[in-house]
Structure 1
């Protein structure tokens, strides 16, 4: 008799919990915000305009994390998401990461605004480690003069073209 009563109380408790859960699990609930950082294992899920950083010892596809673009360590931004690893990036000097497991690729460009300073190889962005630093850092070798729609101003020493804009840089040190 005691076992039967205990079992009935447990069943009623579970039913009450499910009833409360069902009553409050409607679509009126506010949407959850995205986590501050998201580890990205499927490049086809990336969004144009998202910023990424690499975890670990080097830039590789095993440690790509989506981060807030306003953060100081957000050196790279997704310019384009390709739906096939064989596809080519649009006009521009992109750093390309290919995800053969999901047949997708990312065309990455510096997450740059006027005044930002970077360490990057302007001759070969594809092989360059792109790092954003405070402009006083000894590793800095370029500063963003402008992010222009077409041509760069005179004070820019070089322009790095992309699909929607040109990154105007001057050498530092």
Structure 2
């Protein structure tokens, strides 16, 4: 199973308010503005926006909690003295035909939703809801699998 670069990066940051990640709930969408190994700038955004690359699959009550099984990207806020913070488990906000760009540097990777042109790294070939099974995709596809909600996304090189 191959995973997009941003998947698996654990980032920490403190952004409060209802429009920030602290106000995000399951089903809300997230735009990654910037990412590094130790920090990220993310915004809660309308899922219909072209910039909504990720959807919150699970919101955990502590930054130390583990996301469900799957290829989730993670956003963590460690909280403060009186809080255990929170963690967002993020899945690609993908529909068939969408394209994503994977930007890599030595320090981190960032995945964004883009127009399907020469800048795209991957194109979504198929989204299977209700099943988390990498065998749903064709040989040679890049596969992302999420257990909650059960979803398989098949990506081809763009």
**Counterpart check, 1:160 vs 2:156:** no
TM-score (norm 1): 0.64
Per the normalisation by structure 2, the TM-score is 0.70
Aligned to 1:134: 115
Q: Distance in 1 between matches of 2:89 and 2:136?
A: 22
Q: Which moved more, 1:94-103 or 1:58-67?
A: 58-67
Question: Unaligned regions of 5+ residues in structure 2, if any?
Answer: 1-17
| Matched residue, 1:94 | 72
Alignment: residue pair count: 126
Q: Where does 1:27-106 land on structure 2 (aligned, <5 Å)? A: 39-40=19-20, 42=22, 45-55=23-33, 58-59=34-35, 63-101=41-79, 102=83, 103-106=85-88
Per the TM alignment, residue 62 of structure 1 is displaced from its structure 2 partner at its CA by 6.3
Greater relative contact order (Cα < 8 A, sep 6+): 2
Task: Kindly indicate whether the alpha-carbon contact (under 8 Å) linking 1:156 and 1:169 is maintained by their aligned counterparts in 2.
Answer: no
CA–CA separation in structure 2 for the residues paired with 1:143 and 1:63? 25
> What is the rounded CA distance, in whole Å, between the counterparts of 2:136 and 2:26 in structure 1?
24
Residue 91 (structure 1) shift: 1.2
Q: CA 1:145 to 1:41, structure 2 compared with 1: closer, same or farther past 3 Å? A: closer
Q: 1:132 to 1:67 in 2, by over 3 A?
A: same
Unaligned runs of 5+ in 1: 1-37, 122-126
Kindly indicate whether the alpha-carbon contact (under 8 Å) linking 2:32 and 2:111 is maintained by their aligned counterparts in 1: no
